[in-house]
């Protein structure tokens, strides 16, 4: 039996709207300092944000590649116009591996190597085999999948499987922009108000409990999904890539912490303690992977 290749640590696409120079500086630091193997760039949430970062994107990609990172170009989670479809077709000419986050993108990429993102529901073996037959090299599994289902899907198919192990978990994407509505603006005249909240806008219940995070047209968990204690079991089940989702905190430190855990240079209790110091008051959640409600936290054994 051949040895299993070492698990790869990835940095998912930045979901929030940060100023262009801050976003550029973030990726340049990742290139120089973060112990990640794969970096996803590109806009997932709103096409109106893309032009803001466009002047810096090529230089950022070149810098990441020069640092030895594999770069994957992420696409929109909700493709709504013919122009957005054309943009995906234009990106093919760049020669980068593309992460498809909408079925419209799957159609464009059919027969070409690509990554299937977490916004496309690959929850079973049938869906897995369908996307693999159309050219998928790797599948980023939805955050709602319990460990048992992850193991079932990852057990078959000659592909890589990726699971998010840190960061707010994406739950939905919509046509309407909640962020604009909260500021009494329309989606067409939002003036990119989502940029006021670099880590998303907290949504609370009528009783005052923080429960969700709003990011433009996207809804995420309020808590950070943290699968530090579950990472080893996920790898044993067939997961080949572990994803960190960028948040408004020191992501280089987060990446180093996860790398130390994966390499056996840090024990779990100290890793959890160090991660809490980085994330502050935002709670940890891991309910989905344990077959529980998403906002639950099951302390690692």
pLDDT (tens digit, 9 = 90+) per residue, 158-177?
Answer: 789 999 999 999 999 999 99
Q: What is the pLDDT, as a whole number, of residue 1?
A: 42
pLDDT at residue 3 greater than cutoff 80: no
Beta carbons of 176 and 194 less than 8 angstroms apart: no
What band does 4 get if pLDDT is binned at 50, 70 and 90? low
Average pLDDT, the chain: 94
Q: What angle do CA 43, 258, 145 make, to 5 degrees?
A: 60
Integer Cα distance of 199 and 216 in angstroms: 11
Q: Which of 92, 82, 12, 88 is nearest to 50 (CA)?
A: 88
pLDDT tens track for 58-102: 999 999 999 999 999 999 999 988 888 888 888 888 889 999 999
> Stretch 25-50: mean pLDDT, rounded?
96
Q: Which CATH superfamily is domain 8-290 in?
A: Aldolase class I (3.20.20.70)
Do 241 and 162 touch, CB atoms closer than 8 A?
yes
**Lookup: tokens for 235:** 């790898």
The pLDDT of residue 82: 87
Give the pLDDT band (50/70/90) at residue 16. Answer: very high
Question: Which segments within the chain are labelled E, that is strand?
Answer: 8-11, 38-41, 70-74, 97-100, 114-116, 136-140, 160-173, 201-204, 210-215, 218-226, 241-244, 284-285
Neighbours of 1 (CB within 10 A): 3
């Amino acid at each position: 039996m051949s040895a299993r290749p070492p698990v790869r640590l990835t940095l998912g696409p930045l979901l929030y709207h940060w100023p262009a120079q801050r976003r550029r500086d973030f990726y340049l630091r990742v290139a120089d300092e973060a112990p990640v193997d794969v970096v996803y760039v590109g806009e997932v949430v709103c096409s109106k944000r893309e032009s803001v970062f466009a002047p810096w994107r090529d230089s950022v990609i070149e810098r990441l590649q020069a640092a030895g990172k594999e770069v994957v170009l992420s696409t929109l989670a909700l493709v709504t116009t013919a122009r957005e479809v054309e943009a995906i077709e234009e990106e093919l000419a760049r020669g980068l591996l593309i992460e498809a986050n909408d079925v419209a993108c799957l159609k464009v990429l059919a027969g070409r190597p690509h990554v299937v993102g977490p916004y496309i529901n690959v929850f079973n073996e049938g869906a897995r085999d369908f996307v693999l037959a159309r050219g998928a090299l790797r599948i980023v599994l939805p955050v709602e999948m319990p460990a048992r289902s992850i193991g079932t899907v990852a057990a078959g198919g000659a592909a890589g499987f990726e699971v998010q192990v840190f960061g707010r978990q994406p739950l939905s994407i919509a046509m309407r922009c909640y962020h604009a509505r909260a500021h009494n603006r329309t989606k067409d005249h939002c003036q990119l108000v989502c940029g006021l909240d670099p880590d998303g806008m907290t949504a609370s219940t009528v009783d005052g409990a923080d429960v969700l995070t709003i990011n433009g047209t996207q809804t995420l968990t309020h808590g950070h999904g943290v699968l530090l204690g579950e990472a080893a079991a996920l790898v044993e089940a067939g997961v080949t890539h572990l994803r960190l989702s960028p948040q408004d905190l020191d992501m280089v430190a987060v990446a180093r912490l996860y790398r130390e855990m994966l390499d056996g240079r840090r024990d779990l209790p100290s890793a959890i303690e160090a991660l809490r110091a980085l994330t502050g008051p935002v709670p940890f959640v891991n309910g989905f992977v344990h077959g529980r409600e998403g906002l639950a936290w099951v302390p690692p054994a």
